[in-house]
């Protein structure tokens, strides 16, 4: 009976396989079992053809090898249907490696070439593609809008228009694609024409402009004098908070404006960048006379100061750096006086490729009605746009909400950079979510909330086995933007990844910080492994500190772990030449945990060697004898016998060499 069953189990599949072999190719047979790795190898061995390339690419996607897909599909295919399939597979691969902009370009090319029904069917079925389209559209739009760069905008407009058409067609119920076309349609609202200089600006806006002009020279008290005349305490508080971030020496920070969620979001989002930029105020020239000259200039009113600067500029023997600094001072003092006529030509001479004026001076000139142009670095341009809005220079149209209005519910602002950040940051703060985290990391990569999001993405990717992706997320995180708890989470995640990737020295550095700040976050077993790694790296003191700390907190540890801690304490002490300490650890281990044979017996043997080296043969022999009795290993028993013979011989020689007593 058993023989028959064995024959049935062993033979039937062979017969079935033989039957299949007559009608299926090996590749088809592998495909039916989803043996994709071997299936891909079989395809790779065949002669290259468009269909073969596409099949390989599809298989590589199933194997989660998008980099190989991108390499394989680098060249366009001749047949249009095959080319469309190539673009779809390439878009999916680029999305997996998180090259989202390349992914969108692939989809746009597919949409231009494919039948509209196919576009609707394929793109509509692609999970999450609607949100990806929306976020890439926003990013491309913001880059041209905030820099106010018409050339960049004209280059991108056809692409943005095509994305709107696809969005309306493929995802017609999505709110974003219903709202954006009207906002995007009027180019004059997006890029308003330069208006002539006006002497009738609102008073508060004028005072803010003069404040910023004075601050741009480092004349803090002069700027404060203008700012304190502003009617709204919330506005005053906002600008003082800003000034403290750029180096205002006085403790000026207030709290009034933080009652406005939008203002709170502004400082949360932009404070790291505000602190990081070093070009807010004038850099003084390296001239011994400048500090005293600057001090005299600050003590004067703007009109007197301008007269003194003009007189100094007429000197024929000025260094170029001093002359340029005086020109900047004259420009700022003219702004403080409200004398804006004929400044446009002066600004052109100051804003060159070699030298750029202080960023505060650029903003002050804009606030007071000038047209200095926006910074072309996108982060600076974005911040500048919101500082101008805070100063009362509201951008027309529906891109940016009113900076000081706490209720924008009556009008949607789907393209307001700050409002979108508020929504995403609030969402990620309530609990980790991959969709929100990806949006934050893509749209606001430098923001504090994005660092928290990247940490969540890294931990999720590592949990799913995507170590390379997890590591790329961790390397992107800017730790200075993490709060204390997230910083510890980051160090734990990075140290763990470093150990997995073989970067042991880097991992030990991170674990050293963790052991100093939050040792309780590292399990005892992990700490024990770290101590052993430290010993292997000859970091004896650090390893010993960990082991001693573990021994002090041994109450809740299991006996095998306690025994191992004592053994390695003895090992560390012995390696550092502290023989007495090593003996104490080894003997305590053998006494306290005799049932932990692997550690107790080895500790006895180590103690015996120390006593033997010290010439204490009798104690050494007793210890070796116990090792001989208790050891389960043949090698240890043989070693113990050898040592017993050696110490016995030593004892015998000593006995015959002892001097005879006189009586």
Q: What is the DSSP letter of 196?
A: P
Residues 10 and 95 in one domain: no
Residue pair 216/226 in contact by the 8 Å Cβ criterion: no
Question: Does the CA dihedral 56-57-60-62 come out positive or negative?
Answer: negative
Q: Do both 342 and 240 map to the same domain?
A: yes
424 within domain boundaries: no
- What pLDDT band is residue 454 in, cutting at 50, 70 and 90? very high
Q: List pLDDT tens digits, range 151-187.
A: 888 899 999 999 999 999 999 999 999 999 988 887 7
Residue 532 DSSP SS3? helix
Q: Looking at 126, 145, 163, which one is the last position of a domain?
A: 126
Q: Is the pLDDT of residue 7 over 60?
A: no
User: CB–CB of 437/129 below 8 Å?
Assistant: no
Q: Domain end: 390, 414, 445, which one?
A: 390
Answer with the residue of higher pLDDT: 624 or 2.
624
Per-residue model confidence (pLDDT) at position 9: 38
Say yes or no: 48 and 23 in one domain: no
pLDDT of residue 59: 92
pLDDT score recorded for residue 616: 92
Indicate if the pLDDT at residue 80 is higher than 90.
Answer: yes
Angle, helices 261-276/417-430, rounded to nearest 10 degrees = 100
- Whether 9 and 57 map to the same domain: the answer is no
Asked if the model's pLDDT at residue 377 lies above 70, the reply is: yes
Q: Is the dihedral of CA 340, 341, 344, 347 positive or negative?
A: negative
Q: How is residue 203 written in tokens?
A: 């008073």
Quote the pLDDT of residue 475: 93
Q: Which of 340, 369, 390 is the last residue of a domain?
A: 390
Q: Residue 118's domain is classified under what CATH number?
A: 1.25.40.10
Mean pLDDT computed over 119-136: 95
* DSSP secondary structure code for residue 193 in this structure: P
Q: Are residues 97 and 2 part of one domain? A: no
- Can you point out the beta strands (E) in 377-486? none
Residue 660 lies in a domain: no
Is 652 exposed, middle or buried (CB count within 10 Å of its CB: 0-12, 13-18, 19+)?
exposed
**Angle, in degrees to the nearest 10, between helices 504-517 and 524-536:** 130
Nearest-5° Cα angle at 286, 283 to 287: 125
- Residue 546 domain-assigned? no
Given a contact cutoff of 8 angstroms between Cβ atoms, the answer to whether 415 and 399 are in contact is yes
Same domain for 100 and 20, yes or no, is: no
Could you give the angle at the alpha carbon of 495 between the alpha carbons of 490 and 501, nearest 5°? 125
C-alpha to C-alpha distance for 335 and 374, rounded to whole angstroms: 18
**pLDDT tens column, 423-445:** 999 888 888 788 999 999 999 99
Evaluate whether residue 335 is within a structural domain: yes
Residues 458-495: tens digit of each pLDDT: 999 898 888 888 999 999 999 988 889 999 999 999 99
Count structural domains, the chain: 3
Q: How many residues does the chain have?
A: 663
pLDDT bin (cut points 50, 70, 90) of residue 6 is: very low
* Residue 399 three-state SS: coil
Residue 16 is predicted with a pLDDT of 46
pTM: 0.79
Whole-number Å distance between alpha carbons of 585 and 13? 62
**Do 98 and 3 reside in the same domain of the chain?**
no
Question: Which pLDDT value is given to residue 195?
Answer: 60
Residues 263 and 384 in one domain: yes
User: What is the pLDDT averaged over residues 648-652?
Assistant: 85
pLDDT at position 10 is 45
Instruction: Please compute the mean of the pLDDT values over residues 141-155 and round it to a whole number.
Output: 89
pLDDT digits (tens, 9 = 90+) for 26-58: 888 888 888 888 888 888 888 889 999 999 999
pLDDT score, position 75: 93
Distances 398 to 58, 181, 366, 417 between C-alpha atoms, Å: 43, 11, 21, 12
In this predicted structure, the answer to whether residue 251 has a pLDDT above a threshold of 70 is no
**Is the residue at 60 inside a domain?**
yes
In which band, very low, low, confident or very high, does the pLDDT at 197 lie, cut at 50, 70 and 90?
A: low
Residue 108 forms part of a structural domain: yes
User: For residue 251, how far is the Cα from the chain centroid?
Assistant: 32
Backbone angles phi, psi at 652, to 5 degrees: -65, -45
H, E, C per residue of 239-278: HHHHHHHCCCCCCCCCCHHHHCHHHHHHHHHHHHHHHHCC
Which DSSP category does 523 fall into? -
pLDDT value of residue 468: 85
Give yes or no for residue 591 having a pLDDT over 60. yes
**pLDDT above 80 (res 14):** no
3-class secondary-structure state, position 231: coil
pLDDT band (50, 70, 90) for residue 406: low
CA 210/CA 65 separation, integer angstroms: 58
Instruction: Tell me which of 185-194, 563-572, 621-630, 635-644 is least confident.
Output: 185-194
> By residue range, what is the domain housing residue 286?
203-390
- Pick from 214, 252, 269, 217: which is nearest to 390 by CA? 269
Residues 6+ apart with CB under 8 A from 333: 213, 302, 305, 306, 309
Q: Burial code of 390-423, b = ≥16 C-beta within 10 A, e = fewer?
A: bbbbebebbbbbebbeeeeeeebbbbbbbbbbbe
As a whole number, the mean pLDDT across the chain is: 88
Do residue 382 and residue 263 come from a single domain?
Answer: yes
Same domain for 302 and 259? yes
Taking 70 as the threshold, does the pLDDT of residue 663 lie above it?
Answer: no
In-domain check, residue 266: yes
Clarify whether residues 15 and 94 are in a common domain.
Answer: no
- Per-residue pLDDT for 199 more than 60? no
Q: What percent of the chain is modeled with pLDDT above 90?
A: 62
Backbone angles phi, psi at 317, to 5 degrees: -110, 25
Residue 122 CA to residue 290 CA, distance in Å, equals 68
* 251 lies in some domain: yes
Which residues 6+ apart lie within 8 Å of 29 measured at CB? 20, 21
Q: 577 is written with which tokens?
A: 């030449």
Question: 239 and 377, same structural domain?
Answer: yes
Q: What mean pLDDT comes out for the span 62-85?
A: 93
Q: Are 160 and 141 in contact (CB under 8 A)?
A: yes
Report d(CA 239, CA 391) in Å as an integer.
Answer: 9
For 34, the 3-state DSSP assignment is coil
Contact, 486 vs 477, CB < 8 A? no
With cut-offs at 50, 70 and 90, classify the pLDDT of residue 2. very low
């Amino acid at each position: 009976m058993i023989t028959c069953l064995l024959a049935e189990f062993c033979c039937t599949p062979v017969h079935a396989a033989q039957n299949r072999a007559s009608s299926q190719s090996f590749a088809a047979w592998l495909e039916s079992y989803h043996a994709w790795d071997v299936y891909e190898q079989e395809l790779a061995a065949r002669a290259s053809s468009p269909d073969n390339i596409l099949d390989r690419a599809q298989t590589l996607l199933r194997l989660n090898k998008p980099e190989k897909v991108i390499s394989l599909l680098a060249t366009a295919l001749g047949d249009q249907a095959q080319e469309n399939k190539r673009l779809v597979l390439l878009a999916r691969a680029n999305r997996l490696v998180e090259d989202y902009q390349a992914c969108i370009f692939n989809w746009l090319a597919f949409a231009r070439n494919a039948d509209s029904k196919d576009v609707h069917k394929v793109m509509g079925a692609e999970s999450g593609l609607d949100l990806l389209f929306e976020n890439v559209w926003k990013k491309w739009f913001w880059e041209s809008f905030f820099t106010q760069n018409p050339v960049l905008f004209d280059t991108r407009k056809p692409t943005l228009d095509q994305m709107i058409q696809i969005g309306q067609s493929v995802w017609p119920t999505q709110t974003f694609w219903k709202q954006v076309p009207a906002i995007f349609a009027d180019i004059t609202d997006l890029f308003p024409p330069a208006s002539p200089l006006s002497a009738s600006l609102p008073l508060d806006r004028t005072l803010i402009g003069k404040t910023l002009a004075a601050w741009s020279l480092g004349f803090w008290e002069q700027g404060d004098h203008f700012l304190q005349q502003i009617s709204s305490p919330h506005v005053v508080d906002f600008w003082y908070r800003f000034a403290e971030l750029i180096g205002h020496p006085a403790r000026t920070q207030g709290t009034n404006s933080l009652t406005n969620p939008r203002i709170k979001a502004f400082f949360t989002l932009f404070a790291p960048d505000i602190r990081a930029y070093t070009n807010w105020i004038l850099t003084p020239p390296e001239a011994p006379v400048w500090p005293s000259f600057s001090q005299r200039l600050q003590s004067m009113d703007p009109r007197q100061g301008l007269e003194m600067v003009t007189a100094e500029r007429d000197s024929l023997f000025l260094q170029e750096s001093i002359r340029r600094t005086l020109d900047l001072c004259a420009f700022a003092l003219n702004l403080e006086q409200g004398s804006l006529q004929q400044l446009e030509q002066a600004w052109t001479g100051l804003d060159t490729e070699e030298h750029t004026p202080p960023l505060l001076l650029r903003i002050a000139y804009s606030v007071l009605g000038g047209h200095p142009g926006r910074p072309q670095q996108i982060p600076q341009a974005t911040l500048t746009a919101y500082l101008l809005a805070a100063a009362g220079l509201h951008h027309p149209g529906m891109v940016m909400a009113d900076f000081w209005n706490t209720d924008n519910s009556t009008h949607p602002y789907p393209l307001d950079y700050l409002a979108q950040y508020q929504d995403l940051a609030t969402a990620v703060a309530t609990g980790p979510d991959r969709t929100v985290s990806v949006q934050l990391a893509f749209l606001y990569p430098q923001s504090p909330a994005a660092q928290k999001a990247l940490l969540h993405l890294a931990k999720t990717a590592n949990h799913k086995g995507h170590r390379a992706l997890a590591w790329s997320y961790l390397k992107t995180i800017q730790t200075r933007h993490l709060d204390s708890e997230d910083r510890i989470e980051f160090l734990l995640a990075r140290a763990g990844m470093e150990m997995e990737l073989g970067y042991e020295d880097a991992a030990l550095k991170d674990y050293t910080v963790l052991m100093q700040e939050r040792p309780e976050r590292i399990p005892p077993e992990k700490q024990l492994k770290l101590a052993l790694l430290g010993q292997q790296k000859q970091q004896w003191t650090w390893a010993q500190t960990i082991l001693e700390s573990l021994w002090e907190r041994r109450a809740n540890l299991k006996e095998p772990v306690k025994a191992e801690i004592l053994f390695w304490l003895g090992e560390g002490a012995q390696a550092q030449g502290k023989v007495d300490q090593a003996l104490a650890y080894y003997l305590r281990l053998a006494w306290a945990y005799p049932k932990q044979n692997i550690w107790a017996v080895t500790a006895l043997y180590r103690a015996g060697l120390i006593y033997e080296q010290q010439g204490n043969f009798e104690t050494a022999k007793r210890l070796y004898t116990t090792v001989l009795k208790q050891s389960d290993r043949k090698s240890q028993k043989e070693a113990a016998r050898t040592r017993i013979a050696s110490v016995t011989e030593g004892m015998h020689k000593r006995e015959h060499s002892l001097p005879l007593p006189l009586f």
